[in-house]
């Protein structure tokens, strides 16, 4: 049985990813910063007959990530698929911001969060010779697209893309690391005027989470196709 851990899994794209991975027969660890929100999401998915359990996890906290990994290790639960979906839409520009705390918070969640979880779970994947890591990024983090959108969000998503490339180099045989852009999605972050449903936004993440052995690694994808950095 394949086990997937999805951060920020209690709503929006993350919840859609959890649902589809569960439908594909995986055991899903739905990780949420808010315990009650995580429990509510898991209750809905288990009512659909899916094998899902809740984890309380704050990716911005070293202690929280470490405690989660240690608890799973004690239970002998191996994470085969890691989807780094938790993210922060930090508003504003860089120079005119009142202070630097907005950037610091964005770095903690959008960049260091995926690094923390990768450090916690990728070594085990390498030891077992199998793993899939998916970083949910954005075309706002693409140099090719001009780093549009709120500044701290664009800069930290660009850094997440760079992190993806480097993690893929260090991943070990059998472990694939990719990032993806879900598009403009009808979520709390994207708003109801967005052009894609959460299920549509989740599709490429699910595709990357279930890659075959000869699938790509170190790439950036949208609609299941490579896109420019």
Residues labelled catalytic: 153
User: What is d(CA 4, CA 59) in angstroms, rounded to the nearest whole number?
Assistant: 16
In three-state secondary structure terms, 185 is strand
What 3-state DSSP class applies to 183?
Answer: coil
Say if CB 66 and CB 120 are below 8 A apart: yes
In order of 23, 104, 214, 215, the CA distances from 101 in angstroms are 40, 5, 42, 39
Element at 52 (helix H, strand E): strand 52-56
Taking the C-alpha atoms of residue 150 and residue 140, their distance in angstroms, rounded to an integer, is: 8
Q: Whose CA is closest to 53, among 13, 9, 116, 97?
A: 9
């Amino acid at each position: 049985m394949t086990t997937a851990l999805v951060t920020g899994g209690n709503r929006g794209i993350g919840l859609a990813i959890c649902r589809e991975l569960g439908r594909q027969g995986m055991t899903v660890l739905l990780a949420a910063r808010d315990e009650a929100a995580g429990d509510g999401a898991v209750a809905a998915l288990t009512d659909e007959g899916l094998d899902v359990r809740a984890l309380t996890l704050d990716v911005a906290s070293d202690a929280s990530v470490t405690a989660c990994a240690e608890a799973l290790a004690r239970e002998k639960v191996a994470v085969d698929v890691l989807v780094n979906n938790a993210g922060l839409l930090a508003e504003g520009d860089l120079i005119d911001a009142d202070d630097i705390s907005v950037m610091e918070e964005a770095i903690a969640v959008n960049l260091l969060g995926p690094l923390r979880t990768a450090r916690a779970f990728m070594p085990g994947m390498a030891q077992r010779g199998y793993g899939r890591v998916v970083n949910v990024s954005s075309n706002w983090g693409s140099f090719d697209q001009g780093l549009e959108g709120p500044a701290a969000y664009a800069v930290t998503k660009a850094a997440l893309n760079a992190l993806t490339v480097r993690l893929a180099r260090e991943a070990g045989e059998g472990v694939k690391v990719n990032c993806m852009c879900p598009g403009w999605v009808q979520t709390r972050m994207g708003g109801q005027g967005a052009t894609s449903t959460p299920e549509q936004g989740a599709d490429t993440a699910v595709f990357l989470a279930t890659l075959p052995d000869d699938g790509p690694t170190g790439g950036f994808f949208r609609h299941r196709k490579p896109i420019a950095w």
